[in-house]
Structure 1
């Protein structure tokens, strides 16, 4: 969800539409809309490829790290 909020904030700061960002990044508009909602497919958490994230950061003119959620390396993954 945080990645979606970060994408939305960066996009609104540039004044670009969702469709324009998607086009410039080489992804479908529907896909980008889902990313801003924090989803990949309805009801599934987003999981974009690194290349897509790099493209989005370039289009939105923000460092990639500004788009990514805060990460605490001290947190351990939940047991499976």
Structure 2
């Protein structure tokens, strides 16, 4: 995910993105660092991905695209 780049391009803080997306700051930080692992609470649900996409104003597919 390109969360850090999206966040910085929009001038958002991690705290703002987490709050606007309805997740904890700690969880968002783990997403941004790529520390999400299948089968753990850090593996984002579709509803979380949709909330993040809405916060960033992008299509959810952009969050799933890797470079």
Fold match by TM threshold 0.5: yes
Moved >3 Å (runs of 4+): none
Rg larger in structure: 1
Kindly provide the CA deviation profile for residues 18-43 of structure 1, in whole angstroms up to 9, marking residues without a partner as x. 00000000000010001000113xxx
Q: Which runs of 5+ in 2 are unaligned?
A: none
What secondary structure does 2:52 align onto? helix
Q: Which runs of 5+ in 1 are unaligned?
A: 71-80
Bigger fraction of residues in helix: 2
Task: Count the aligned residue pairs.
Answer: 63
Structure 2-normalised TM-score? 0.84
**Over the residues paired in the alignment, what is the CA RMSD in angstroms?**
1.4
Structure 1-normalised TM-score? 0.71
What secondary structure does 1:10 align onto? helix
